[in-house]
Amino acid sequence: MSYSAPTKQMQFLLDHVVGMADVAALPGYEDATPDIVSAILEEAGKFASEVLAPLNWEGDQQGAIWSEDGVTTPDGWKEAYQQFSDSGWNSLAFSPEYGGQGMPGLLSAAVQEMWHSSNMAFGLCPLLTQGAVQAIASHATDELKQAYLEKMVSGQWTGTMNLTEPQAGSDLAAVRASAEPKGDHYLIKGQKIFITYGDHDMTENTIHLVLARTPDAPAGVKGISLFVVPKFLLNEDGTPGARNDARCVSIEHKLGIHASPTCVMAFGDKEGAVGYLVGEENRGLVYMFTMMNEARLAVGIEGYAVAEMAYQRALAFARERKQGPVLLGKDTDVTGIVNHPDVRRMLMTMRTQVEAARVMAYDCAAAFDFAERHPDDEIRARFRRRGELLTPIVKGWSTEVGVELCSLGVQIHGGMGFIEETGAAQHLRDCRITPIYEGTTGIQANDLLGRKTQYDGGQGVEELLSDMRATQEALAASQLADAASAHTALSTSVDLIARVSQLLLSEKNPAVAASSANDYLMLMGFATGSWAMARIVLATEQSEDKDFAALQLALAKFYFDKVAPHAQAHFLAIENGKDDYYQIDQAML
């Protein structure tokens, strides 16, 4: 089956739940008119379904291929990427200063979902370029910006992020790659692993952002610098010239995303790879977080995007698969298993959680739009806190949920789901990397609890609760028949967030707090999901399509009744938290 972009749902959320009109009113976003936004969504949906989706299965089966001459992507990949960049999709949200279209990040989030739903392995390439562009644009010299950004924005060149080393993993303090100054550049030496699209044949140049240490750098994360290392050095006219000493020496054999080359990169095996310092020495980790935070939101989108495709495939199968009498409906004839109560439960579980995750990702993207463009300093700061608070929730919760939902997609297929030919297994295999990419769920949980909650004394959480309470008040004043149940469910979520945040803010034992971080993240995900669905309930008043509105209300009710209670379980786990379990000698485990 192919992919059908849920553009009607996206448009509804943008217009009536998240507030696209408010984002479009920000300085610099005047071109994001309702007609333009609608047209972009429709055209992106067509590109995803007609160009990217047909390549997904074959790309998975064929995979990327390594040779000493470089990495070859699957059949059709290069042509699809050329069409992708020629159509302007790569430049959608970038600054017009470098040839971008200047569209809001909120709109870009919706469009990115389509790339990852239809073909996650393909969508990973522009995802990394997007973050590299932001890092260079935010921190590099004007000379580097002029040399690289225009062609990276257009998609003519792609970008990568090179952090991980064999001995370093997520502990970047252990990075050993070196950077020796030589004239106007540095010579980079070292090996990086797990580099997505570190090499490929789709563009004429690849621009690596590499973390390395200069000779006199202090130990730890304070001694890391960031460098631009192009695959091909540039001629005086800006075109690719001599090959740099940066090569892919192998690609990983992975559980999923087979068409996306995950490279082992060797820098400086010969004379040294020429690199150019971004910003100041020893501030590389600060700069890299510009790229990493972009990627974390994007990976969160990946999580529910792949689950959306898994849902579509499972629904199509459930409608066609006829097996056994059913309980739903008036007759007991053998019909599609879509009418079996437990299958319906799984489908509703998939759809409602995708919907909640979608709203939260949109909220996060919109917050960063406001943080960047709003003219009021205090409002910008408030939205910056909101975006930073939501980022680990979107990245951590949406990806964990995404894997669970893709597994449900396999379950709905029954035994056929375990057979590769149905395609259901690919979604599960592909999605499984998302809770690991760009910082594992544990890292996101520690970030949420530590930097985003405890560090500011809970200010960001209190601001979130204030907005959730405003939705409570709107529900209390609403005449909608479903408003009362939505109000009850949202009230429970608000209470849980308030209680758990206070509980963890007052926790004196760091081991207990750290061991509760994952439950805190998941609680925040399920609880903010209730807020998303409550706002959808209110938004149905704006829909003229009564059948569509009825579906939204049914989805919201299912979420409140069947999904939201997960938050209470996580609260109990936190409340029961002790450090006894962590005092056991590891040899006994």
Which is catalytic among the residues 150, 281, 294, 438? Answer: 438
Indicate the residue among 226, 250, 283 that finishes a domain: 283
Query: What pLDDT, on the 0 to 100 scale, is given for residue 330?
Result: 54
Interstrand relation of 334-336 and 273-277 (parallel, antiparallel or unpaired): unpaired
**Cα(first)–Cα(last) distance of the chain, in Å?**
46
Contacts of 458 (CB under 8 A, 6+ apart): 501, 502, 505
CA–CA distance, 302 with 260 (Å, rounded to integer):
14
Is residue 1 within 8 A of residue 313, CB to CB? The reply is yes
CA–CA distance, 252 with 70 (Å, rounded to integer):
14
Domain count, the chain: 2
Residue 103 in domain = no
How many other C-beta atoms lie within 10 A of the C-beta of residue 131? 25
Query: What pLDDT, on the 0 to 100 scale, is given for residue 291?
Result: 83
Residue 438 in domain = no
Residue 225 in domain = yes
Residue 548 in domain = yes
Residue 124 in domain = no
pTM of the predicted structure, to 2 decimals: 0.96
Indicate the residue among 246, 266, 283 that finishes a domain: 283
Active site (annotated) includes residue 438: yes
Is residue 246 within 8 A of residue 232, CB to CB? The reply is no
Q: What residue ranges in 357-479 does DSSP mark as E strands?
A: none
Q: CA 198, 200, 201: angle at the middle one, nearest 5?
A: 155
Write the CATH number for 222.
2.40.110.20
Q: Is 443 helix (H, G, I), strand (E, B) or coil?
A: helix
Output the CA torsion sign for 254, 260, 261, 262: negative
The domain containing residue 279 runs over which residues?
141-148+157-283
CA–CA distance, 445 with 453 (Å, rounded to integer):
11
HEC states along 197-229?
Answer: CCCCCCCCCEEEEEEEECCCCCCHHHHCEEEEE
Please give the chain's pLDDT, 589 residues, in tens: 789 999 999 999 999 999 999 999 999 999 999 999 999 999 999 999 999 999 999 999 999 999 999 999 999 999 999 999 999 999 999 999 999 999 999 999 999 999 999 999 999 999 999 999 999 999 999 999 999 999 999 999 999 999 999 988 778 888 999 999 999 999 999 999 999 999 999 999 999 999 999 999 999 999 999 999 999 999 999 999 999 999 999 999 999 999 999 999 999 999 999 999 999 999 998 998 888 888 999 999 999 999 999 999 999 999 999 887 776 555 556 678 998 999 999 999 999 999 999 999 999 999 999 999 999 999 999 999 999 999 999 999 999 999 999 999 999 999 999 999 999 999 999 999 999 999 999 999 999 999 999 998 999 999 999 999 999 999 999 999 999 999 999 999 999 999 999 999 999 888 889 999 999 999 999 999 999 999 999 999 999 999 999 999 999 999 999 999 999 999 999 999 877 777 788 888 8
Is residue 476 within 8 A of residue 487, CB to CB? The reply is yes
Residue 469 in domain = yes
The runs of H, that is alpha helices, within 374-432 are: 377-413, 424-431
Residue 572 in domain = yes
Of 523, 531, 381, 540, residue with least CA distance to 470: 531
The DSSP bridge partners found for residue 275 are 186
Q: Retrieve residue 151's tokens.
A: 């062609």
Query: What pLDDT, on the 0 to 100 scale, is given for residue 585?
Result: 83
Residue 472 in domain = yes
Is residue 88 within 8 A of residue 101, CB to CB? The reply is yes
Indicate the residue among 250, 283, 316 that finishes a domain: 283
Structural element, H or E, at residue 420: none
Structural element, H or E, at residue 189: strand 185-196
